[in-house]
Amino acid sequence: MEKQKLWGGRFTGATDPVMEKFNASIHYDKRMWREDVQGSKAYVKAIQKVGLVTEDECKLILSGLEKVADEWECGKFEIKETDEDIHTANERRLKELIGITASKLHTGRSRNDQVSTDMRLWMKNALPELGAEVQNFMSVIITRAKQEIDVLMPGYTHLQRAQPIRWSHWLLSYGWMLKRDIERMLGLQTRVSSLTLGSGALAGNPFPIDRKSLATDLGFMEVSGNSLDAVSDRDFVAEFLFWASMLGTHLSRWAEDLILYSSKEFGFVTLADAYSTGSSLMPQKKNADSLELIRGKAGRMFGHCSGFMMTLKGVPSTYNKDLQEDKEAMFDVYDTLLGVIKVATGVLSTLKIYGDKMRQALSPEMLATDIAYYLVRKGIPFREAHGLSGMCVALAEKKQCPLSSLSLEDFKSVSEEFTDNILSIWNYEMSVDQYNVYGGTGKESVTAQIENLQSWLEQLQYR
């Protein structure tokens, strides 16, 4: 059994079965079978060009790799106990199919540069899939923002009613967060696209293979510059985990808002039954479990990120086995995030809003700042105007009446700068539409936001 291992020649004793299981990664890294075959095909062509295998041997290896890929594709590939990882499994099966010629494939190559290459290829394919799902979610945000632009709602700071805003403005606030997330992902795509194959175990490749040509064959933008760094570089994994954690955090905040808005205390929205669950005890309950899971899974993703950073911080230079912890974190975060984005898109696509309840939640004291702005427009310094507005609020509280019920005489008792047109400020649409500077909640500004995000999405291209 030991002689079948890629590293078995130096050892004479058997490996403890417990250690065999502890050491193996095949049960999760097998999902990179396609990338492993892809990398091996390119590599055998590279070593054929420098005479390490003949043209016939190259064709035989390529033919064998095609058969290995077909077995994986059809679900017929049989994993053996000796298959420590996907690289071992594929090479073992290749040798069974074509014989001793398969042993030439690994010439000059180490699993250290091989696994890094496989992971980078995998992530190069995975990122656009995630990006496309984020795009879909953004498209739903933009569509709803267009359709529901006239719906007003309370804006909150410290979870207290602050100023009136447009529902569309709230929606678009998450659209801008997602835009930043996609931009970060585009930067990550560039950094992932660096070929590490040809770095060997740590010192490089002793044969004159053309790494730039190899990079082109595999779709990489550049080749790594230092073999010691290349075999241990997991920055792209850490960056992916952070990127996913940041995106997950944005979606968690979005979910938290909607959890509040869907409660009886707010009553602004209702989730479709397809994204809700009930209680096993209380038949009246309709729980926003989809949103709660989105919120919870953000913590799961960040846990992988912080855990992997702790793994990396103590690893000395070049490859060490600690780095095997990279793949489970990478795969689980990818699977988790993909599910989170799809569910979020479904929730928002089917969400029912209650514009009347949102409007009913608006109250005159939310226009207290407008009183200050009224005075500023009369030439009073803002700090003084702010104080006078606060005195108006205090007066309404003393009289136990809404701010909008104060008379002109009441206002004049605070300041003679108030005239009869102060009584016309109690208009929520007018209040909202004064914020038309770009980025604000006024209708013109929100319309511009919609147009800009839509244009950006239409021009978006993945590398």
- Residues with catalytic function: 158, 279
Contacts of 361 (CB under 8 A, 6+ apart): 153, 154, 161, 266, 268
Is 359 exposed, middle or buried (CB count within 10 Å of its CB: 0-12, 13-18, 19+)? middle
Rg (CA), the chain: 31
| Residue at token pair 């930067």 | 187
* Cβ–Cβ < 8 Å for 114, 199: no
Helix (H) or strand (E) holding 189: helix 167-192
Please say whether the dihedral angle defined by the alpha carbons of residues 103, 106, 112 and 114, taken in this order, is positive or negative: negative
DSSP class of residue 102 equals G
- Three-state SS sequence of 393-410: HHHHHHHCCCHHHCCHHH
Contacts of 174 (CB under 8 A, 6+ apart): 141, 250, 253, 254
Strands 194-195 and 222-223: parallel
- Per-residue tokens: 34: 């396609």
Strands 352-353 and 269-270: antiparallel
- Per-residue tokens: 125: 């394919």
CA distance 199 to 215: 13
CA distance 80 to 403: 77
**Chain centroid to CA 147:** 26
CA distance 26 to 269: 46
Residue 152, beta-bridge partner list: 166
Smallest CA-to-CA distance from 358 within 370, 350, 366 is with: 366
Q: Can you say whether residue 42 is alpha, beta or left, with left for phi > 0 and alpha for psi between -120 and 50 degrees?
A: alpha
Q: Can you say whether residue 133 is alpha, beta or left, with left for phi > 0 and alpha for psi between -120 and 50 degrees?
A: alpha
